[in-house]
Structure 1
Amino acid sequence: MVGGCLSRLSCFFAYGVGLLLVVCIQDAEASTGKRVVHKRVGDTEEFSSNLPTEGVTAATWKYGSTVVADHDRGVSKKELFQSRLEFNPTNFSLTLRDLTVGDSGDFSFLSEANDRQRPTVTITLQVHEPITEHPVLTYSSYQALNGSCVVSLKCSSATHSNVTWSWAVGNHTYSGSELQHTIRPEDGGTTFTCTASNFVSEKSASKAVTCSNKYTDKGEFRSVLILSVAGACLMAILVLTCVVVRICCCKKRHEGSDSNDLTVYADISDVAVESRTPSTLKPCSLYETIENCTGSDAPITPAPQTVYDRIQLSRLRKASVSPYQEVS
């Protein structure tokens, strides 16, 4: 009995301690005031510590590690922000005008109340360039074998200040600057909306895409595909046949030229005409003047002096008026 009571009492005590720790942690986080502020270029931001102002004996604002304002001396003479900074000595707030992207950073407030150090308040400032132009939407598509269309889309923007991309297609949303989506002819016109956004602005662009499939009948589409493949195969066979025939003709022509590569000079040699005595044999040549090759001293009838004269001998005609020799 006593043990059970002690057990329940210990559980209750542990629960109370845990709850107290959670509350203390939440209070500590609230007192430190860590937060992030998003602003656009050209805006004005007033930094406040959200701490009580009673009994404050010291108050200092820092940008990073540099002191920019102080309870006793006001705004620092370093003019880090080129006279765009103001300090309120009553509520210890800090105001920065005409914000630029370069002003982004951590602003810290350090203070003392009744000579006791208070928690440091840190405010992170992020300055963004607003998106002023609509994004550029481009797309391409191809038709799948099942008759549907695969659409590839891409969005781009000239602004590079933490841009987030999103897509809206009907009731569906997607993230990223690129999207690939499948549509069907029965869907009609499908609208794709691309949105470029950051913390201070957003711009959108839309495009309606239709899947136009002229072969809505799968049987017709299959027939056209088969005919196309058959035509391509036939064309390849014809080309191959022409190439083979061409190679064979060239080979035969080459062999014929090798076998007939003989000239008249290969068969012409000196010959000797028999005479009554071997010592009187004279060699005769086709190109030599035709003489008495017999070796005898008997007179012979004058004959043509060259082979060419012999060929022309029986073909003498009247002189031709043409500058070219007439051959018959």
Structure 2
Amino acid sequence: MLRGSHYCFFVFFAHNALLLLGIRSHALGDSNCKQQYGRAGATIVLSPGPISEKLYKALWKFNQINLVDINGVLNGHQFTDRSLLNQNNYSLTIQDLRTTDSGDFTFVSSGEKGQRPTSCTRLKVQEGLTQRPTLNVINITETSEESCEILIKCSSTPDQDVSYRWTVNGVMINGSTLQYPLKPHKGDTNFTCTASNMISAVSESQSFNCQSPPSPPPPGDLNGFLIIAGVACIALISIVGFVIVICRFKKGHAVASDVNEELTVYAEIDDIINTNIMKPCSVYETLENKAPPISPKPQAQTIYDKIQFNRVQQLQNT
């Protein structure tokens, strides 16, 4: 049991040690890479460094993918038909550079003295700057009667991996945006902006004063503003239309409820009338039905009736 635990501890320790060594060697390998820049569309030559012995093995790799060995170019990668190995000094030539060719190129070799140190070149391919930069006045603020401040921006196309430097009155200032004080009594002030990357640089100069009007927004900014405004208008129209539809729906629903309620009231009244309806009758029939019964009046007795009545009484008495 004890030996098993010692064995597991040893394996764990060895694994971590190898992992740390691998990370350290990878970091050292990255730090040992020399930086080299290339221009898109151009040709570049990558050198493995000085070689003073005969090599038995030589291999160029791009991001750990085999490109060229000592016998010639390997196929099946992005550099096929664009790369060439020099058999004398083992330098690698790459034609028609593309921005996607940026990466780490390593040269692995062995000679009469055994394995040689690995050579690493980190290539960065950039687009060349051909158009002059554009200077745009963002704002001019009057600070006093004798001075103002100008806010100006410099931009270029393309703008990836581009750095900017201003030159004003012999002073160099880094950055694409510059805020600078102006003196009206000194007249116009000349501003020079230089846009550059590692393979090219272009410059543009303009003069400004406190009365210089702000520049119109660049086309890209204007297009973005128009897109945002269009989206906002569409959203506003949609909201207004939705509110109108809801209001009409509620109004129609209320009218329908009132109509249904009115129909219900009339229907109830009609039911009451139908249940209490009477058959038509004449005036005489009404009077006959409504008048109280009349008792017949006793007829007036004549003298003969009285006499006869007395005789009847006499006869009854005898």
Band the TM-score falls in, shorter-chain normalisation: 0.5 to 0.7
What is the alpha-carbon distance in structure 2 between the residues aligned to residue 134 and residue 147 of structure 1? 33
Which letter does structure 1 place at the counterpart of 2:49? N
Deviation, structure 1 residue 200:
1.1
What is the alpha-carbon distance in structure 1 between the residues aligned to residue 181 and residue 171 of structure 2? 13
Deviation, structure 1 residue 33:
7.0
Deviations 1:14-34 (A, max 9, x none): xxxxxxxxxxxxxxx9xx973
Residue equivalent to 1:67: 66
Deviations 1:177-231 (A, max 9, x none): 1000001123221101111111111111222112359xxxxxxxxxxxxxxxxxx
Secondary structure at 2:100 match in 1: helix
Verify: 1:209 aligned to 2:194, yes or no. Answer: no
Residue equivalent to 2:80: 82
Residue equivalent to 1:24: none
RMSD: 2.1
TM-score (norm 1): 0.52
Q: Is the contact made by 1:68 and 1:80 (CA closer than 8 Å) also made in structure 2?
A: no
Residue equivalent to 1:153: 152
What is the alpha-carbon distance in structure 2 between the residues aligned to residue 171 and residue 148 of structure 1? 20
What is the alpha-carbon distance in structure 1 between the residues aligned to residue 194 and residue 94 of structure 2? 31
Secondary structure at 1:186 match in 2: helix
Q: Is the contact made by 1:39 and 1:128 (CA closer than 8 Å) also made in structure 2?
A: yes
Q: Evaluate the alpha carbon distance shift between residue 161 and residue 89 of structure 1 in structure 2; reply closer, same or farther with a 3 A threshold.
A: same
Secondary structure at 2:89 match in 1: coil
Deviations 1:84-107 (A, max 9, x none): 011122321111001111111111
Which letter does structure 1 place at the counterpart of 2:200? S
Aligned residue pair count: 182
Residue equivalent to 2:111: 113
Deviation, structure 1 residue 81:
1.3
Secondary structure at 1:68 match in 2: strand
Q: Is the contact made by 2:108 and 2:117 (CA closer than 8 Å) also made in structure 1?
A: yes
Residue equivalent to 2:235: none
What is the alpha-carbon distance in structure 2 between the residues aligned to residue 212 and residue 59 of structure 1? 67
Residue equivalent to 2:136: 138
| 4+ residue segments displaced more than 4 Å | none
Q: Counterparts of 1:1-328 in structure 2 under 5 Å?
A: 34-71=33-70, 73-139=71-137, 140-211=139-210
Which letter does structure 1 place at the counterpart of 2:83? L
Which letter does structure 2 place at the counterpart of 1:100? R
Q: Evaluate the alpha carbon distance shift between residue 212 and residue 103 of structure 1 in structure 2; reply closer, same or farther with a 3 A threshold.
A: closer
Deviation, structure 1 residue 53:
4.4
TM-score (norm 2): 0.54
What is the alpha-carbon distance in structure 2 between the residues aligned to residue 33 and residue 55 of structure 1? 24
Structure 1, unaligned stretches of length 5 or more? 1-28, 214-328
Q: Evaluate the alpha carbon distance shift between residue 156 and residue 78 of structure 1 in structure 2; reply closer, same or farther with a 3 A threshold.
A: same
Structure 2, unaligned stretches of length 5 or more? 1-27, 213-318
After superposing the two structures, state which structure 1 stretch, 90-99 or 49-58, moved more.
Answer: 49-58
Q: Evaluate the alpha carbon distance shift between residue 33 and residue 212 of structure 1 in structure 2; reply closer, same or farther with a 3 A threshold.
A: closer
Q: Is the contact made by 1:57 and 1:115 (CA closer than 8 Å) also made in structure 2?
A: no
What is the alpha-carbon distance in structure 2 between the residues aligned to residue 169 and residue 40 of structure 1? 30
What is the alpha-carbon distance in structure 1 between the residues aligned to residue 159 and residue 146 of structure 2? 39
Identity of aligned residues (%): 35
Secondary structure at 2:144 match in 1: coil
Deviations 1:243-289 (A, max 9, x none): xxxxxxxxxxxxxxxxxxxxxxxxxxxxxxxxxxxxxxxxxxxxxxx
Structure (1/2) with the larger helix percentage = 2
What is the alpha-carbon distance in structure 1 between the residues aligned to residue 82 and residue 34 of structure 2? 22
Q: Is the contact made by 2:146 and 2:185 (CA closer than 8 Å) also made in structure 1?
A: no
Deviation, structure 1 residue 48:
1.4
Deviations 1:265-314 (A, max 9, x none): xxxxxxxxxxxxxxxxxxxxxxxxxxxxxxxxxxxxxxxxxxxxxxxxxx
What is the alpha-carbon distance in structure 2 between the residues aligned to residue 124 and residue 85 of structure 1? 16
Which letter does structure 2 place at the counterpart of 1:39? G
Secondary structure at 1:50 match in 2: coil
Which letter does structure 1 place at the counterpart of 2:65? T
